[in-house]
Amino acid sequence: MNVYIFYGRVRQYGGIERNILALAQVVAASGITPVLICFEDQVDLHRESGGVLQVKVIGSGNMLKRVLRIREIVAANANDSTSLIICFGVWGGAFLSMTGLGYLLHYTDPPSVMPEMVSWFQKVKFSLLSNAAIRRAKSCITMTERNARELRHRFGRDFDVIYQGGVPPPVGFEINCDNRVLRLVSVCRLHASKNLDWAIELHQACMQDERLKDKFTRIELLLIGDGPERDKLQEMAVKSNSVDSVKLLGFCTSEEIERIMATANIAVVPGVQGYGLPVLEALYRGMYVLLNEASGISEILGEDARVCISRNSKADFIKSGIDFLSALDMKLLPDVYVSSRGELPTEDSWGQALGRAARWW
């Protein structure tokens, strides 16, 4: 049996690409073949999935030909006429709305956390395509109640919520922290919305705080990821005389990230974002988290003692972070790791729920 995922253009490895690969693994484990249909795939998701995900590239160009092509693919391999295509993203949903095929729309980031559209034409186009995608979807899913409220207010349709899980630690993962070293780490694209300048200023404040200087022999900030803000952040580190302790590591492989996470004790997440998978992945690995309330995932972590949630301001993020860090007992980290298991959403729970919503099982 085949089931279908649609995502318009796969151009770089990011959050939605990770979602697709995670869903493909859950589907394959159920004995079903996941098939991604897209206009282009520059990442080679078939390879990234270890061959689990089949990819059908229908190309660009004539819209009618693309509509006919996707209908042909689905018709030729239809095993269950009641199952829905899972579509990631509103642009893909707008395309599927023209095909007559049944689809579930997974709306990841609401408009409030998307890049601002400066031209009148862009705003009108986005509004028209979004309304078409949402109106004709058989089901609409998002990842937080906050997102659902915003989308309901803007588009007049209810969205169901399925909390996504992150990548679990590999078998044999062990914390390898030096409790006298405060190692802050961020894993994300280096975009303005991630507020990583707050992280650098937090690091500077930590270096100057007498309580933290007494507790730690060294304080480091590791920024994992690449993006348009890299040069600006590097310049900030130079100006603050922190180039030895603020390190922009660029893109790292999953194996490299695991090695870094094993030696880090604090995840810093100052950004404004629809969800925030790195938060879950840090908690899976026994880390504490400094989190901006404007990350959607904050709504399920308010009672978690491992997480410090600040208001959406640089001043409060830094003040809350300093107070939280100064009160921590780093010797408890291994116990935190043990207690974190089984309490949070997982990739499997998310994939199973999404598959049920799409009538795949």
The CA distances from residue 200 to 14, 69, 225, 283, 293, in Å, are 23, 49, 15, 22, 18
Asked if residues 247 and 223 have their Cβ atoms less than 8 Å apart, the reply is: yes
Residue 62 is predicted with a pLDDT of 87
Residue 78 is predicted with a pLDDT of 63
Residue 221 is predicted with a pLDDT of 97
Percent of the chain predicted with pLDDT > 90:
69
pLDDT tens for residues 331-359? Answer: 666 566 555 555 788 889 999 999 999 99
Q: What's the CATH code, domain 2-165+347-357?
A: 3.40.50.2000
What's the chain's average pLDDT? 90
pLDDT tens for residues 134-179? Answer: 999 999 999 999 999 999 999 999 999 999 988 888 877 887 878 8
CA 273/CA 270 separation, integer angstroms: 9
pLDDT tens for residues 62-105? Answer: 889 999 999 999 988 766 668 999 999 998 999 999 999 999 99
pTM of the model: 0.86
Asked if residues 103 and 96 have their Cβ atoms less than 8 Å apart, the reply is: yes
CA 134/CA 5 separation, integer angstroms: 17
Average pLDDT on 8-15 reads 85
pLDDT tens for residues 110-128? Answer: 888 777 766 778 878 888 9
pLDDT tens for residues 227-286? Answer: 999 999 999 999 888 888 999 999 898 899 999 999 999 999 999 988 998 999 999 998
Burial class of 305 by CB neighbour count within 10 A (0 to 12, 13 to 18, 19+): exposed
Q: Going by C-beta distance under 8 Å and a sequence separation of 6 or more, which residues neighbour residue 273?
A: 109, 113, 193, 194, 294, 295, 296
Residue 196 is predicted with a pLDDT of 97
Residue 331 is predicted with a pLDDT of 63
Considering the chain, tell me which residue range(s) the CATH 3.40.50.2000 domain(s) occupy.
2-165+347-357, 181-340
* CA proximity to 289, closest of 274, 299, 301, 272: 301
Residue 60 is predicted with a pLDDT of 84
The CA distances from residue 271 to 3, 22, 172, 283, 303, in Å, are 34, 23, 31, 17, 20
Confidence of residue 298 (pLDDT cuts 50, 70, 90): very high
Q: Which fold has domain 181-340?
A: Rossmann fold (3.40.50)
* CA proximity to 36, closest of 92, 80, 90: 92
Residue 237 is predicted with a pLDDT of 92
Residue 244 is predicted with a pLDDT of 87
